[in-house]
Amino acid sequence: MNDSAAHRITVGTGAAAREIAVLREDGTPGRCGVLWLSGFKSDMAGTKAEELAAWARSTGRAVTRLDYSGHGLSGGDFEDGTISAWAEEALAVHRAFCKEPTIVVGSSMGGWIALLLARALKRASRPDDAPLAGMVLIAPAPDFTEELMWKHEFTDEIRARIMTEGRYERPSEYDDSPYVITRKLIEDGRDNLLLGGAIETGCPVTILQGQRDDAVPWQHALRLMECLALDDVVLTLVKDGDHRLSRPEDIARLIAAVERRAGEAEAETGAEAGAAAPADG
């Protein structure tokens, strides 16, 4: 990726300030935009992000992508990162760049960040915030630090090491270098847990989940769906799909889901505008 093409914004103040890299392409006015949120230790140059950006470009829709601090082109140290910090960055980028109704697309951890973004926007209720027109979540992993790592993956020995040494080098099947899981990440994750109660995004949600996902079990998506009781939710289980869901057929399924949500939102806006026209006349 060309570093010079990225915008830069500063999120946080003082010692907590970090420089976040953002790719933004404007679209046709009146059309929904797309905000891409990557997964844990992934960046905005991945296959799904690139393919989604190409589709948005071809259909005249704005697309915004970011690298969280400690990821990709952004500043900061990965080991300093937390769910709170990455969610704060997503909110700052949304407010700075997304000016149109937006379909948020979150992959894995990005699904957790997307849900936290929706909660933050709902709580703030600022009239200048672009509304979320829909959400598409790919193998969403809300609460993964607690539910998938701490409770199920980590042994007593690993948990003790994290608490005493402050870090654990977790081998990765996707990267030559290990993922460093810090005590700070685990403890901060507990401040952002969502699966214990109702989650209200305020927009339609589509979940795409592989049933051969060895990182986020498909049952995790079912649990999330139960928490989204107040939203319009569609869950698609891909029987032979893995965690990445980045095969050509998976990409086609992703783009179709985003296109469907964007089309629904645009049609609703058009219908409302049409209904208002006679009264204005």
* CB neighbour list of residue 184: distance below 8 Å, 6 or more residues apart: 80, 82, 166
**Greatest distance between any 2 Cα atoms in the chain:** 72
**What local confidence, expressed as pLDDT, does residue 279 receive?**
37
**Cα distances (angstroms) measured from residue 154 to each of 77, 144, 243:** 23, 12, 19
Q: Is 164 buried (19+), middle (13-18) or exposed (0-12) by CB count in 10 A?
A: exposed
Is residue 44 within 8 Å of residue 38, measured between CB atoms?
yes
> 3-state class of 7 per DSSP?
strand
Instruction: Label residue 41 left, alpha or beta by phi (over 0 means left) and psi (-120 to 50 means alpha).
Output: left
CA–CA gap between residue 220 and residue 241 (Å, rounded): 15
Counting as low any pLDDT under 50, the low residues of the chain are 271-281
**What local confidence, expressed as pLDDT, does residue 280 receive?**
36
Is residue 44 within 8 Å of residue 67, measured between CB atoms?
yes
Model confidence over 107-136: pLDDT tens digits?
A: 999 999 999 999 999 999 999 999 999 999
Token code pair at residue 40: 């844990």
* CB neighbour list of residue 270: distance below 8 Å, 6 or more residues apart: none
Q: What CATH number matches the domain at 80-143+192-266, 3.40.220.10, 3.40.50.1820, 3.40.50.1370, 3.40.1190.20?
A: 3.40.50.1820
Q: What is the DSSP string of 213-239?
A: -SSS-HHHHHHHHHHTTTS-EEEEEET
Place of tokens 């700052």: 92
**What local confidence, expressed as pLDDT, does residue 2 receive?**
58
Instruction: Count how many residues are written for the chain.
Output: 281
